[in-house]
């Protein structure tokens, strides 16, 4: 029987949805309601880190759902305490963690930690970088240094200043500055990694002045770039880091972690749903899977093969691409221009490959970290077929 059309008239039209309705998935392969298969190089915008229908994650979520989903943060939650300890261990720091439900919430918590830290010194300003993206709430939107996201929603809260790059950020530090916030790899801004030496220099400058470095690792963290935190690849130790997206393997969860002891106290911050039993159980199992994947060398092999195929495609189609950017399994193929970007993305979807856009000319690739070498091969066959059609 042919699937019935989905009635979207009661939804606010905030998304330009492709007319595909998925019914099920297996690792990095999705199936629509008509049974057609798609290779997923998007993973729900970097969320489905352990793929679809992962047996360990599915079993853990079902088991937890049969016990307790939510009790609020007025009572002890063993899953939550264990997850915070795991995040501290994997980050190599003595961090304390606050759990919310999304990346924007994690960043809002980071802002509050920074402002409280600077309160006694009259410091509250946070410097962010051009082409950054930090979320859709009003404060996180203001922290996002892209003018196109600001239309319609002002006035915005004070306390955010934009730097063109890391060197400019260092020059902008003034008497009101308390922190600089960066994405180690800018996602929405074009999958652009920061310069390592300049970031290390900025981190030292901040440390010498008792100011804070905040790393937004919502997209680039949780092994997306090969290590638990992208900042670990750079040798940088942030005072605050934020996580979300891939942390729960598809279950919504966000986390703000800080090495500032008791940075927030009773009544300073709260979340009704944050860190509930279901989300924290999902995150614990997700991290177990990913930690094992990295330790076995499988993640490294996947990263190497994926990178090789990215480079091969750009070299095979020089009229469409000018190069590759990104780290680990957070990659982008740089299209010649915006028109080529759109044509490539559309053609990929026509060939049943899911990819994303980023910036003005990037084709963003964020596959599940558990993607098989066979699925990578098939995905690039479809991408190459799409490119040949152009």
**Model's pTM, two decimal places?**
0.96
Tokens of 136: 């859709």
CA distance 38 to 23: 11
Burial of 122 (C-beta count, 10 Å sphere; 0-12/13-18/19+): exposed
Q: What is the DSSP string of 236-294?
A: ---SEEEE-GGGGTTS--EEEEESSTT-S-TTT---SSTT-HHHHHHHHHHHHHHHHHH
**All domains of the chain in start order, with CATH:** 22-53+297-389 (3.90.1150.10), 68-295 (3.40.640.10)
Residue-wise pLDDT tens for the chain (390 aa)? 677 889 999 999 999 999 999 999 999 999 999 999 999 999 999 999 999 999 999 999 999 999 999 999 999 999 999 999 999 999 999 999 999 999 999 999 999 999 999 999 999 999 999 999 999 999 999 999 999 999 999 999 999 999 999 999 999 999 999 999 999 999 999 999 999 999 999 999 999 999 999 999 999 999 999 999 999 999 999 999 999 999 999 999 999 999 999 999 999 999 999 999 999 999 999 999 999 999 999 999 999 999 999 999 999 999 999 999 999 999 999 999 999 999 999 999 999 999 999 999 999 999 999 999 999 999 999 999 999 999
Length of the chain: 390
CA distance 253 to 382: 33
């Amino acid at each position: 029987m042919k699937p019935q059309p989905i009635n979207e008239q009661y939804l606010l039209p905030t998304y330009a949805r492709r007319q595909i309705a998925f019914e099920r998935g297996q690792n990095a392969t999705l199936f629509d309601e008509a049974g057609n298969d798609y290779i997923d190089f998007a993973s729900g915008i970097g969320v489905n880190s352990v793929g679809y229908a992962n047996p360990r994650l599915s079993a853990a979520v079902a088991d937890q759902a049969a016990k307790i989903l939510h009790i609020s943060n007025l009572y002890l939650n063993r899953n939550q305490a264990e997850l915070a300890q795991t995040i501290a261990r994997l980050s190599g720091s003595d961090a304390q963690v606050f759990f919310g439900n999304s990346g924007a919430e994690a960043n809002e918590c980071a802002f509050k930690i920074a402002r409280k830290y600077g309160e006694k010194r009259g410091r509250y300003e946070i410097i962010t970088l051009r082409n950054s993206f930090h979320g859709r709430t009003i404060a996180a939107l203001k922290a996002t240094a892209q003018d196109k996201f600001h239309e319609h929603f002002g006035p915005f809260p004070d306390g955010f200043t934009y730097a063109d790059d890391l060197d400019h950020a260092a020059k902008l530090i003034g008497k009101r500055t308390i922190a600089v916030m960066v994405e180690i790899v800018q996602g929405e801004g074009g999958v652009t990694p920061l310069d390592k030496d300049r970031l290390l220099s900025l981190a030292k400058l901040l440390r010498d002045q008792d100011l804070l470095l905040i790393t937004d690792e919502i997209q680039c963290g949780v092994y997306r770039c090969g290590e638990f935190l992208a900042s670990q690849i750079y040798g940088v130790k942030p005072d605050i880091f934020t996580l979300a997206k891939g942390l729960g393997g598809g279950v919504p969860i966000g986390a703000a972690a800080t090495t500032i002891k008791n940075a927030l106290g009773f009544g300073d911050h709260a979340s009704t749903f944050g860190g509930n039993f279901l989300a924290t159980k999902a995150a614990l199992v997700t991290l177990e899977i990913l930690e094992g994947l990295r330790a076995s060398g499988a993640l490294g092999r996947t990263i190497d093969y994926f990178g090789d195929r990215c480079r091969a495609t750009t070299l095979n189609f020089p009229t469409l691409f000018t190069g590759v950017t990104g780290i680990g399994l957070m990659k982008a193929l740089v299209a010649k221009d915006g028109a080529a970007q759109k044509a490539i993305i559309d053609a990929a979807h026509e060939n049943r490959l899911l990819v994303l856009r980023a910036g003005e000319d990037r084709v963003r690739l964020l596959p599940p970290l558990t993607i098989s070498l066979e699925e990578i091969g098939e995905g690039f066959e479809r991408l190459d077929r799409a490119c040949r059609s152009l």
